[in-house]
Amino acid sequence: MADFDGLSESLNARKTQHLYRSRRLLGSAQQPEQQVDGKSVLSFCSNDYLGLANHPEVKKAFIEAASEYGVGSGASHLVNGHSQLHHELELKLAELTGRDRAVLFSTGFMANIGTISALVGRGDAVIQDKWNHASLIDAGLASGAKFKRYPHCDLNGLERQLNSCSEARRKLVVTDGVFSMDGDIAPLDRIADIADAHNACLMIDDAHGLGVLGATGAGSAELFNLSQERLPVLMGTLGKACGSFGAFVAGSEELVETLIQQARSYIYTTALPPAVAAASLASLKLIQTEAWRRDKLQILIAQLRGGIESIGFPLMRSETAIQPILVGDAALALDISQQLEQRGLLVTAIRPPTVPEGTSRLRITLSADHSSDQIELLLSALQDIYQQLSDEKKAQLSDVKDKFVSG
């Protein structure tokens, strides 16, 4: 069988540049204390923000539904894979987000690919934040529409890009609600104003906002009080704060029916197992009835930020459970991550191409299941590591802070 030229060289180059990524073998449930690669670690890199992935009620709902519906859905939603549990979950998601309807997708990547391609094509324009999730970028490129990007959260840049494609038949403005690698929140109210002024439709990916933002956990739209009219296309995922799996898009009757009829990643994909839908229903109930989880998360965020800032590491501006320490150099980020792991603490080093060159970071994520004592363990380890850094590396960190955080 023929081989592709250059694969080995490309892989070796990644290793040399400290950009090679390896999978870890998880041997336990998603929770702060985990078994990873056969070792006990305290994890600070899961997106299980509310601690629901291993919640007894969520697991119970899954097991009971699996007993009734079996393991697999057997077919796509449009054949005979759309169960009563899927239907109930869509109704609940529409209610939670204040939208007319919702439609389930098997993954967030598929939701974004299917939605954008169904809404825009040749003769249209899609305008995106430069730091949007890869699934949004790929969806925009695949749609066939004129593809424009504006600097991160730069409203003037958004205006310029909208002006540059004023002749487009349809214009779709797309942004993350919470940016997954920085943890900052898009100024959605102002973006909605600009989109409206240019007769453009607004879509947000609220994967990291749903469950943790807003008074009831309805996410970024609730935080900014954006109605369906002002925010017509709302995408969210169920595998992060909800602790389950899958994704959805919520909006008007016409939007949802359009996606059911035209989104290829919906039409030609096996539906989620009904038991997963049951687990999501249980987690949504907990999100709405146990507001203390969001309250505790905010307390832990404040504790962590205060501690890291006193140590001296460059901490990015974030009010969410995603708290990145900006290191800059990929090798240094990887080294600090490995030192933390040697102390029994799991914090992932995020490097290019996931983030831009020169912005490698330690992406700390918090869960309502973490304790204050566990936060202190992490802070103590970071303090020790920072004190052992050479003056040259501390100066590098200071330069990174001045360039990317303070500026």
By percentage, how much of the chain surpasses pLDDT 70?
A: 99
Tell me the catalytic residues: 180, 208, 240
Statement: residue 367 has pLDDT above 90: yes
In sequence order, the 6+-apart residues with CB closer than 8 A to the CB of 392 are none
Annotated binding site: 21, 108-109, 133, 180, 208, 237, 354
- Residue 148: the pLDDT is 98
Task: Write the DSSP assignment of 365-405 as a string of letters.
Answer: E--TT--HHHHHHHHHHHHHHHHHS-HHHHHHHHHHIIIII
| 8 Å CB contact between 204 and 235 | yes
pLDDT digits (tens, 9 = 90+) for 124-175: 999 999 999 999 999 999 999 999 999 999 999 999 999 999 999 999 999 9
Give whole-number Cα distances, 225 to 57, 129, 213, 237, 290, in Å: 30, 21, 11, 20, 21
Distance CA 318, CA 322 (A): 7
Per-residue pLDDT band at 2 (split at 50, 70, 90): low
- Residue numbers in the known binding site for substrate are 21, 133, 354
Over residues 230-255, the mean pLDDT reads 98
- What SS3 state is found at 362? strand
Rounded CA-CA distance 313/326 in Å is 8
Note the helical H segments in 70-107.
Answer: 84-97
Q: What is the full DSSP assignment across 271-295?
A: PPPHHHHHHHHHHHHHHHH-THHHH
**Buried b or exposed e, range 200-213, using 16+ CB within 10 angstroms:** bbbbbbbbbbbbbb
Give me the CATH code for the 23-53+291-405 domain, please.
Answer: 3.90.1150.10
Q: Write the pLDDT tens digit of every residue in 311-326.
A: 999 999 999 999 999 9
CA-derived radius of gyration, the chain: 22
Provide mean pLDDT across the span 348-375: 96
- Known binding residues for pyridoxal 5'-phosphate: 108-109, 180, 208, 237
At 214, give phi and psi (nearest 5°). Answer: 90, 155
The sheet that has 360-365: what strands, in order across it?
322-328, 360-365, 348-350
The CA distance from 101 to 93, in Å, is: 8
Question: Whole-angstrom Cα distance, residue 265 to residue 78?
Answer: 12
The size of the chain, in residues, is: 407
pLDDT tens for residues 269-308? 999 999 999 999 999 999 999 999 999 999 999 999 999 9
Tell whether the model's pLDDT for residue 194 goes beyond 80. Answer: yes
Cα→Cα distances 322→61, 130, 179, Å: 28, 19, 9
* 281 within 8 A of 89, measured Cβ to Cβ: yes
The alpha helices in 198-251, defined as continuous H runs, are 220-223
Contact 236, 250 (CB under 8 A): yes
Tokens (6 digits) for 337: 């991550």
User: Per-residue pLDDT for 403 more than 90?
Assistant: no
Cα gap 207→239, rounded to integer Å = 8
Question: What does 148-206 look like in DSSP terms, one character per residue?
Answer: EEESTT-HHHHHHHHHHTTT-S-EEEEEESB-TTT--B--HHHHHHHHHHTT-EEEEE-
Of 361, 368, 378, the closest CA to residue 320 belongs to 368
Residues 201 and 226: their CA atoms lie apart, in Å, by 13
What pLDDT, on the 0 to 100 scale, is given for residue 1?
A: 47
Q: Which residues pair with 315 in a beta bridge?
A: 325
Chain Cα centroid distance, residue 128: 16
Instruction: Kindly provide the b/e burial profile for residues 264-292, where b requires at least 16 CB atoms within 10 angstroms of the residue's own CB.
Output: ebbbebebbbbbbbbbbbbbbebbeebee
Residue type, 70: G
Domain map (residue ranges) of the chain:
23-53+291-405, 56-289
CATH architecture under which domain 56-289 falls: 3-Layer(aba) Sandwich (3.40)
Helix (H) or strand (E) holding 39: strand 39-43
Helix then strand then coil, % of the chain, to nearest 5: 45, 15, 40
Residue pLDDT, tens place only, 30-41 = 999 999 999 999
Amino acid sitting at position 249: V
Could you tell me the two tokens for 167? 């002749």
pTM for this entry: 0.95
Question: Which residues is 126 bridged to in the sheet?
Answer: 147, 172
